[in-house]
């Protein structure tokens, strides 16, 4: 899977050369047809030129998302190369899990306390008090956004990875320094393996 993501990343190099933090004023609705089919499965690749997270894949561990995290603890039916696999449904972003397993859905907390923190809940686990679960969309460039805004990655996460936050207008969410805005590019996975991702 990583090889497939890297190949896609190579093809996108020219288009992403001027990658900057997505505008917070853009529309959450797709501006045109997306390359990801309805109910299609995809990985999320970070695009931020000349940075440690450029072309980094997204993994899920301990109820949160990370870039460049070498270990995930996910139990999968095959090898996804350590990358998490997602799908969209009714504005919600879900992890692709095994049949019969509890759903694992992404949430975002943009409140003053949450500052844009992201995570995922499993089954009846619930979400934080100010957590939002709908508003995810993929545009015609296959870029993922949440209610029209992009994402930040902050260093210092477990295993040397970068934690993923929604851009809530705070440059150092959670007090983290060195955070970078990035474009979250959805990369279609034609034959992904379902997983059960670890919980906090």
Pick 88 or 21 by higher pLDDT: 88
Q: Could you read off the pLDDT of 73-101 as tens digits, one per residue? A: 899 999 998 899 999 999 999 999 999 99
DSSP 32-57: S--SSPTT--EEEEEE-TTSTTTTPB
Hey, what's the torsion of the CAs at 167, 3, 12, 149, to 10 degrees? -10
d(CA 93, CA 164): 14
Token pair for 143 = 């870029």
pLDDT digits (tens, 9 = 90+) for 33-66: 568 988 899 999 999 999 999 999 999 999 999 9
Domain ranges for the chain: 42-196
- Average pLDDT for residues 10-27, to the nearest whole number? 36
Mean pLDDT computed over 115-131 = 92
pLDDT score of 34: 66
The torsion of the CA quartet 179, 185, 163, 78, rounded to 10 degrees, works out to: -160
Residue 188 has pLDDT above 60, yes or no: yes
Nearest to 164 by CA among 182, 187, 186: 182
Three-state DSSP class for residue 7 = helix
Identify which has the larger pLDDT, 35 or 150: 150
17: confidence class by pLDDT, cuts 50, 70, 90: very low
Average pLDDT over the chain, rounded to whole?
A: 85
Give the pLDDT score at 126.
85
> Alpha-carbon distance 63 to 196, whole Å?
11
């Amino acid at each position: 899977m990583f090889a497939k993501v890297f190949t896609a990343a190579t093809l996108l190099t020219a288009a992403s050369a001027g990658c900057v933090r997505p505008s917070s004023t853009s529309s959450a609705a797709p501006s045109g047809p997306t390359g990801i089919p309805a109910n299609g499965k995809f990985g999320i690749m970070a695009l931020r030129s000349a940075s440690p997270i450029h072309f980094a894949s997204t993994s899920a561990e301990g109820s949160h998302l990370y870039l460049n995290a070498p270990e995930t603890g996910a139990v999968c039916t095959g090898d996804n190369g350590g990358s998490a696999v997602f799908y969209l449904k009714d504005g919600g972003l879900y992890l692709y899990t095994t049949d019969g397993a509890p759903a694992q859905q992404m949430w975002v907390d943009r409140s003053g306390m949450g500052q844009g923190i992201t995570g995922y809940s499993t089954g009846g686990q619930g979400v934080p008090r100010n957590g939002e679960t709908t508003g995810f969309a993929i545009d015609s460039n296959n870029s993922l956004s949440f209610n029209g805004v992009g994402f930040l990655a902050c260093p210092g996460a477990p295993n040397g990875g970068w934690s993923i936050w929604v851009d809530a207008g705070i440059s150092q969410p959670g007090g983290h320094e060195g955070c970078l805005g990035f474009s979250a590019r959805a990369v279609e996975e034609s034959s992904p393996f379902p997983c059960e991702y670890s919980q906090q």
